[in-house]
Amino acid sequence: MLIVISFTLEIANIYLSNKVTSNSIYASKIEQQIKDLDNKNQILKSDILNYTSFEMISSRAAELGFVENKEYITLSSPLDLAINR
């Protein structure tokens, strides 16, 4: 009887050890995926900063045919316009 109980406990120990190891491997894979996604997010943030920089926007605008406006349009007296309304 003692041998059967001992054998059953050893089988349970092996099963639980295997289960813990499997969970540990799964957790390490998830941690690696998190690290990979963090790296991708950093790259994307860098790309966003690059694409929204003044130099990139102005060069892209020039490629699309936009030109810099050399003339300024101002209202001579904005207060007069507000009063006339």
Domain locations in the chain as residue ranges: 2-65
The residue to which tokens 């050893």 are assigned: 10
What's the chain's length in residues? 85
pTM: 0.51
Query: What is the H or E stretch that residue 33 is in?
Result: helix 2-51
For residue 14, name the pLDDT band (cuts at 50, 70, 90).
Answer: confident
List pLDDT tens digits, range 64-80.
Answer: 988 887 777 766 666 66
Q: What is the pLDDT of residues 24-63, one digit of tens each?
A: 888 888 999 999 999 999 999 999 999 899 889 988 898 9
In 3D space, the residue among 41, 61, 38 whose CA is nearest the CA of residue 51 turns out to be: 61
CA distance 76 to 80: 9
Place of tokens 């920089």: 53
